[in-house]
Structure 1
């Protein structure tokens, strides 16, 4: 959830709503794809920006427009200071089967590279082989300290963490391209963004039935 404040907060809210609009575009084409924006917190819902339920399981999305670092990269110190480590750890321990995704314009080496390699490990002895580089191993050891995990625990955690580094302009283009062959792609893109803001404010569940209702109300007909 974006923090309250000035223009950076407004940019963060807009980014989260555009990303939600992208997920709405997925829900239009998918079966059994339900979105819960600003999901109500519970014993099993800690990462609450956007929760998605599919036939394959539950995905929790934490949307952070940009890293606070001047390097425009998510260092581990940023993950700690912004509460990402804390929230992701609590979420994982509350529901070990769910996937947790950090969504941002800025990448995170720990999540996108180190953890991706670590998924190939089954035992702690495998870690140094799969991580390959000294820098990746240093990052792994640092993450253990931040999270208070041993190798076994961090391997299990790493297998459930994903990084989605996606610029705002790409989000808009992806929505448009999903509908470009059906016509009305700009109208659909703008409608989904508008509804994303409404649903986030009202914590409204989104599924294909709801999306079809919006399209009918706006008289968007793909069969014309």
Structure 2
């Protein structure tokens, strides 16, 4: 039986965080508030838990979930490398509503689905999410909804859709604006052949961070809008489903 904890109540917050940590440790799913929309989370390093997350949403392995992290420094442990323009994005927009796709660290022992060697990473804002991430480490997190349904902006919305497939729900009011994160693909900044053109950053999904804000940080490294988003890559399928 699932339990909803009201994190605005300090006693429920403490109990909720304890139960959420234990659920993640068991390989179960939890729902957490983020600064964008509510997310359903699993231990990123447990293939069984990640598969449970995909099954709960009615999603295939060709739609791998992004990973939420609790510190900026963790990005270097998950990505093959962090180019200087990505460091600028991190400084400007993390914690916040920007998800960055990079080639994954080859030494990682995990299975998020058919990522083709990439990982989508975000550091969210919000006390509950960050305190939990500090204790659990990276979590695979997707929007707390069934595929094809609107993203949940409250824990109660999520519970109506996901029910007992989730062990613990952490409620912290309504999402600030219900706008999912912006997703950018920075893989070409890393994966460039000797004779290739300089890499650019491509917007896969518009969201909380505007193109104008990205332009201020990246300048000419931001791919023009008329070139962006036209190709569909399996490893970027998260752009299709309102991920947090």
TM over 0.5: no
RCO (CA 8 Å, sep 6+): is it higher in 1 or 2?
2
TM-score by length of 1: 0.30
Q: Name whichever structure is richer in strand by fraction.
A: 2
The structure having more radius of gyration, on CA atoms, is 1
TM-score by length of 2: 0.29
